[in-house]
Structure 1
Amino acid sequence: MTRTDANDPIAGAAPKDRSVSLFDRARAHPFILLVIVPTLVAALYLFTIASAQYRSEAQFVVRGLEPQPAPASGVGQLLGLSASLSPGQQEAQSIREYLRSHDAVRALRGEGVDLVAIYRRPGTDPLSRLWSPAPRAETLLDFYRDHVDVIYDPDDNITRLSVRAFDPADAQRIARALLALGEKRVNAYNARLFDASLRVASGESQRAQDELESIQRQLGGFRERERDLDPAATGAGGARQIEEQQARLDRAAATLADMRGKLSPNSPQVRAMAAQVAAASAALEAARARQTGQPEAVAGRLGEYEELRLQQEFAAKRYEAARARLEQARTRAANEQLFIVAVVEPNLPEKPALPKPLRTTLLILIGLSVAYGIGWMLIAGVREHRS
């Protein structure tokens, strides 16, 4: 009996009929296979397996001491007449690009923030975590950009920073480190701006000062060599002395001429006055010789002295102008200094931002249903066309 049942074709066909019926049921209900089953699988993952991700958010602005230019009006924007970007806006955009770059990832490692360890935290589901324990730089950067958003709003000049991690403290830690990196970046920008603004003005001022000091040394050496503090004053004094000697000589000569008309030439008074005239004439010639007629005369020293004084005056004016430009450059550089103001500090999240299992499941169901409906209509259209 048992052997007969084993060889019975009807009894042996039952399992085959059951398998065929399951396949036929799947073919008969493709909506269940293509929509319901994937949705259930996604829901199972989202509700039971997917790891919670926490988001820490911060907002900051890059400002300077100088007032920001007013944004373009609505009409100006429609006409394409947008206002030029201020240094703060330009630097805010550059900071955004920096915080999303390889440099930021490398700098975070230098700040003690190990992104690989944070995003490979034990207990994280395999689909959400960073897979490789030693990822390539490009792989780590892509994963980092998926979890860190830096959005700059040019209308209100606010940069919004959002960081997701599998632990609330890790998300807040990364956000704080990124804010610190942005501040360091701004400080480096300020240092470069200060150096660039003052380098030329400082060099020009130093050259003017060196030139002035060199001329002053030459002037001091000239005075020491010639033993004359001010040849111009000496020359003026010599000129006054010549005038006095000339006046004395003229008076003595007039008196001598008058005496010769009244007295004998051999008169003692005439001889005495003639001696006075000769002495006055000799003193006048000596005074003139001291001014112009000798190698060490004042006229010979005065030319070199006046040239040095003229060079000194020009150098002093150049030095004063260079110092004024240096002060202006310092003031301008100080006014152009930028700094980061944290509008919103990084928060410690308490509620997971992702995943959102219910909403995500509904979106998957709706998306698959729409795709299934479109596919069903296309297939029905093809069949109708063939028939």
Structure 2
Amino acid sequence: MAKSIFVKLDRSASLLTLVIIPFVLLLLYYGLVASDRYTSEAVFTIKENGSSSSSLDIGLLGIGNSSGLKDERIMKEYLLSGDMLAFLDKELDHRAHYQKRSADWFSALPADATREVYLEYYRDHIDVYFDELSGLLFVEVQAFEREYAKRLLETMLQHAEGVVNEISHRLAMAQYEFVEQQLVKTQDSLKISKQRLLEFQNRYQIFSPEQQGQSLTAIMDIMEGELSQEKAKLKQLLGFQKSNSPQVIASKERIRALTEQIIDEKRRLIGEGDEELNDLMVKFTNLQLDLEFTKDAYASALAALAQSRAEASKKMKHLVVISKPSLADEAKYPERVYILVTALIVLVMLFGIVRMTITTIREHQD
């Protein structure tokens, strides 16, 4: 009984069943049924306006710049993203092309394909390779028509250019607006500092306590000099005149007047309460220092704004297409010869394994 079973297995595992028939079916499918898929290829990189043209052979921001390479990596992910696919559907009705009636059943996108299945199918028909050494992105897309493949890749690159411009512009403007806000803040601080100094001067009716103190000191020095001279003159007068003589009385009156005036000026210099000149000088100096600081901060903010405006244009990025989307002369996929040769080798190997397995089992049974 067991022997008859192995005989049947031996017959079913014939060369015809395991090799010839499957290979003929594959040959018929790829020779007569399988839809041709054309490709379009392009090479590009992302460049910053401020970078030198000599960096094009290396990448975005120059030799070895990791931030530039990051831009290309992000772009690679975006080309394979659902957002790019949604844009292609809107612009080209891309799903309809993948579901063409002229495409064979195995190659076309199923009519009831879900969003996830559609995205996976899209990614299977686009190849994006990033060369980190050169900083270049190599893109290859597949389509059932060669003209559509070229148009598809052109549309993708145009949209990618717009995305790069939009993002870089948004980032540059964010930086510029931040610097501009800092300028407004320093400008407000400058106005407040000026207003405080003006209020101080109006309140105490002085332009500069320091200058006023110097003026009062100079006046007192002059009056003290006059007082000394007048005292010396009085001493001389008393040497040869009586104390009640008109000249002596006049000299004493001048000495009294000068002394009172000097006392008044000292009182003005020292002041009373919160109007002491020394305290006013300290307050005034602090207000001046605050004003000078805000002036310096405002000047720095102005310079930073001008620099930010200049850098904003330099940091704008754009796509640099090294190789434009190509128009295929012939279909690249499916790779019929490669697939058929590989399938034949696999079928022959499978046939050999099955035959060896059956032979081994039969020998053990015998």
Give your verdict on TM over 0.5.
yes
Does the 8 Å contact 1:95/1:185 carry over to 2? Answer: no
Within 5 Å, give how 1:284-299 maps onto structure 2.
284-293=262-271, 298-299=277-278
Q: Match of 1:76?
A: none
Per the alignment, residue 171 of structure 1 pairs with 149
Aligned residue for 1:152, secondary structure, equals strand
Q: Which of 334, 358, 380 is 2:359 aligned to?
A: 380
- Partner Cα separation in structure 2 for residue 224 and residue 183 of structure 1: 61
Instruction: Give the 3-state SS of the residue equivalent to 2:92 in structure 1.
Output: coil
Alpha-carbon distance between aligned partners in 1 of 2:285 and 2:146, rounded to the nearest angstrom? 80
TM-score (norm 2): 0.81
> Could you say what secondary structure the match of 1:342 adopts?
strand
Cα deviation 1:124-176 (Å, max 9, x = unaligned) = 222211121x5321011011011011111222222111100011222122212
**CA RMSD, aligned part only?**
3.4
Gaps of 5+ in 2: 1-7
| 2:131 pairs with 1:153 | yes
Give ranges in structure 1 of 5+ residues lacking alignment.
Answer: 1-23, 72-82
- 1:49 matched residue in structure 2: 33
Structure 1 residue corresponding to 2:42, chosen from 54, 58, 70? 58
2: distance between equivalents of 1:339 and 1:253?
A: 91
Is this contact kept in 2: 1:289–1:297, CA < 8 A?
no
Equivalent positions of 1:271-282 (< 5 A) are 271-282=249-260
Residues 54 and 353 in structure 1, CA contact (< 8 A), matched pair in contact too: yes
For residues 293 and 356 of structure 1, the distance between their equivalents in structure 2, rounded to whole angstroms, comes to 102
Shift of 1:321: 5.7
Instruction: Give the total of aligned pairs.
Output: 348
Classify the secondary structure of the residue corresponding to 1:242.
helix
Please show how residues 1-387 of structure 1 align to structure 2 within 5 Å. 27=11, 30-64=14-48, 65=50, 86-110=66-90, 112-132=91-111, 135-191=113-169, 193-194=171-172, 204-293=182-271, 298-299=277-278, 301-319=280-298, 338-387=317-366
C-alpha displacement at 1:323, in angstroms? Answer: 5.9
Report the TM-score when normalising by structure 1.
0.77
SS of the residue corresponding to residue 334 of structure 2 reads coil
Aligned to 1:74: none
> C-alpha displacement at 1:58, in angstroms?
1.0
Cα distance in structure 2, aligned partners of 1:386 and 1:324: 95
| Post-superposition CA distance 1:272-330 (Å, at most 9, x none) | 32232233223323322332346767556434322312322343445556666777777
What is the CA–CA distance in structure 1 between the aligned matches of 2:77 and 2:271, rounded to whole Å? 80
> Relative to 1, partners in 2 of residues 1:294 and 1:28: Cα closer, same or farther, differing over 3 Å?
closer
d(CA) in 2 for partners of 1:126, 1:138: 19
Q: Which moved more, 1:222-231 or 1:210-219?
A: 222-231
2:3 paired residue number: none
Native 8 Å contact 1:292 1:300 kept in 2? no
The AA in structure 1 aligned to 2:270 is T
Mapped contact 2:125–2:142 kept (Cα < 8 A): yes
1:103 alignment partner, SS class: helix
Counterpart-to-counterpart distance in 2, 1:329 and 1:384: 86
Q: Is the 8 A contact 1:60 1:344 kept in 2?
A: yes
Is the 2:189–2:294 Cα contact (8 Å) retained in structure 1?
Answer: yes
CA distance in 2, matches of 1:94, 1:166: 28
Measure, in 2, the Cα distance between the counterparts of 1:87 and 1:361: 45
d(CA) in 1 for partners of 2:70, 2:272: 72
Equivalent-residue separation in structure 1 for 2:304 and 2:266 (angstroms) = 48
Q: Which amino acid aligns with 1:96?
A: K
Query: Corresponding residue for 1:16?
Result: none
